[in-house]
Amino acid sequence: MDRVAAYYGERGGGFWVALREEKVVGMFGLEPAAPDAMELRRMYVDPSARRSGIGRLMLRFAEAECRRFNVRRLELSTSELQPAALELYRRAGYRLLHEVVAEQASNKTLGGGIRRYYFEKIL
């Protein structure tokens, strides 16, 4: 865990946390996905803070960081196991590019048979 910020920084991105009363209630990373795009990675909101707008604020901040990096496209993916995330991204104007059913576990899936959705937004 002590290398998370360095990991993203070494790849030309960054990693941020959201605090509420000195407690981490959210986090996300950004890393380059293509010359014109960043990818939103590991976005998470603590269960105690869900449905309070923190996810929406972090997403807006991530978009602003992309603009600061002169990147005009943000990509992301999530799974069918995250219905609140799917709703958040759709409401924020993300366009579904495609969906895939994972055949086996990877760094983006918990296991095989899970449907993953890939989105993008032009900023």
pLDDT tens-place string over residues 35-74: 999 999 999 999 999 999 999 999 999 999 999 999 999 9
* Amino acid (1-letter code) at residue 94: Y
What does the pLDDT read at residue 108? 54
pLDDT at residue 17 above 70? yes
pLDDT tens-place string over residues 64-120: 999 999 999 999 999 999 999 999 999 999 999 999 997 766 655 556 788 999 999
CB-based contacts of 40: which residues, under 8 Å, 6+ apart? 28, 29, 30, 59, 62, 74, 75, 76
What does the pLDDT read at residue 109? 52
Distance CA 111, CA 21 (A): 35
The residue extents of the domains of the chain are 4-122
CATH number of the domain at 4-122, please? Answer: 3.40.630.30
Q: Considering the entire predicted model, what is its pTM?
A: 0.87
